[in-house]
Structure 1
Amino acid sequence: MTRRFAWPARLWALSTSRFGIIVIAIVGLVAVISVFWLPFDPKSVDIANRWAPPGWPHVLGTDGSGRDIASLLMAGARTTVWVALGAGVIATLIGLALAALGALTVRWVRESIAVFVDILIAFPVLLIAMMISAVWGGSLWVVIVSVGIGFGVNVARVTRPELRRVLHSDFVLAGRASGLSPWQNLWRHLLPNVAPVFIVQLSWAMAVAVLAEAGLSYLGFGAPPTEPSWGLLLAELQSFISVHPLTVVWPGLAITLTVLGLNLLGDGLRDVTDPTLSRRGAAARTHVPEVVA
Structure 2
Amino acid sequence: MSAARDSQARRALSALRHDPPAVAGAVVLLALVVVGTAGRWLAPAGVNDVDVDQMLHPPSWAHPFGTDELGRDVLSRVLVAARVSLEVGVVSVGIALLVGAGIGLVAGYYRGWVDNVLMRGMDVLFAFPVLLLAVAIVAVLGPGLLTAMIAIGVVYTPIFARVTRAGVLSVREQVFVRAAVSIGASDLRIIRRHVLPNIAAPLIVQTSLSLAFAILSEAALSFLGLGIQPPAPAWGRMLFDGRGFVTEAWWLGFFPGAAIFLTVLAFNLVGDALRDVLDPRQLTLGEASRSTT
The TM-score with structure 2 as length reference comes to 0.92
Correspondent of 1:210 among 210, 215, 220: 215
Tell me, in whole angstroms, the C-alpha distance in 2 between the residues paired with 1:248 and 1:275.
Answer: 42
- What residue number does 2:13 align with? 8
Quote the offset at 1:284 in angstroms.
Answer: 6.7
Counterparts of 1:43-82 in structure 2, within 5 Å, are 43-82=48-87
Q: 1:198 to 1:2 in 2, by over 3 A?
A: closer
Please tell me whether the aligned partners of residues 20 and 261 of structure 1 are also in contact (alpha carbons under 8 angstroms).
Answer: yes
Please tell me whether the aligned partners of residues 56 and 66 of structure 2 are also in contact (alpha carbons under 8 angstroms).
Answer: yes
- What residue number does 1:173 align with? 178
Q: Is 1:157 aligned with 2:162?
A: yes
Unaligned regions of 5+ residues in structure 1, if any?
Answer: 289-293
Q: 1:286 to 1:247 in 2, by over 3 A?
A: farther
Tell me, in whole angstroms, the C-alpha distance in 1 between the residues paired with 2:263 and 2:112.
Answer: 42
Tell me, in whole angstroms, the C-alpha distance in 2 between the residues paired with 1:116 and 1:247.
Answer: 42
Q: Which amino acid aligns with 1:88?
A: V
Post-superposition Cα deviations, 1:226-250, rounded to whole Å, max 9, x if no partner, equal 3210000111012101111133210
Q: Which amino acid aligns with 1:74?
A: L
Tell me, in whole angstroms, the C-alpha distance in 1 between the residues paired with 2:247 and 2:155.
Answer: 36
Deviates more, 1:80-89 or 1:99-108: 99-108
Tell me, in whole angstroms, the C-alpha distance in 2 between the residues paired with 1:31 and 1:69.
Answer: 16
Correspondent of 1:21 among 26, 37, 45: 26
- What residue number does 1:267 align with? 272
Tell me, in whole angstroms, the C-alpha distance in 1 between the residues paired with 2:114 and 2:195.
Answer: 19
Q: Is 1:192 aligned with 2:192?
A: no
Post-superposition Cα deviations, 1:26-68, rounded to whole Å, max 9, x if no partner, equal 1111011114442110011011111222222212111111101
Q: Which amino acid aligns with 2:223?
A: Y
Please tell me whether the aligned partners of residues 31 and 74 of structure 1 are also in contact (alpha carbons under 8 angstroms).
Answer: yes
Unaligned regions of 5+ residues in structure 2, if any?
Answer: 1-5
Tell me, in whole angstroms, the C-alpha distance in 2 between the residues paired with 1:49 and 1:287.
Answer: 66
Post-superposition Cα deviations, 1:63-87, rounded to whole Å, max 9, x if no partner, equal 1111011100011001011011111
Tell me, in whole angstroms, the C-alpha distance in 2 between the residues paired with 1:140 and 1:205.
Answer: 18
Quote the offset at 1:116 in angstroms.
Answer: 1.7
- What residue number does 1:252 align with? 257
Tell me, in whole angstroms, the C-alpha distance in 2 between the residues paired with 1:2 and 1:106.
Answer: 32
- What residue number does 2:239 align with? 234
Q: Which amino acid aligns with 2:190?
A: N
Q: Say what the alpha-carbon RMSD is for the aligned residues.
A: 1.9
Deviates more, 1:273-282 or 1:68-77: 273-282
Quote the offset at 1:285 in angstroms.
Answer: 7.7
Tell me, in whole angstroms, the C-alpha distance in 2 between the residues paired with 1:228 and 1:31.
Answer: 13
Correspondent of 2:99 among 94, 101, 105: 94
Residue identity (%): 35
Quote the offset at 1:280 in angstroms.
Answer: 4.0
Deviates more, 1:106-115 or 1:276-285: 276-285
Please tell me whether the aligned partners of residues 21 and 269 of structure 2 are also in contact (alpha carbons under 8 angstroms).
Answer: yes
Please tell me whether the aligned partners of residues 35 and 42 of structure 2 are also in contact (alpha carbons under 8 angstroms).
Answer: no
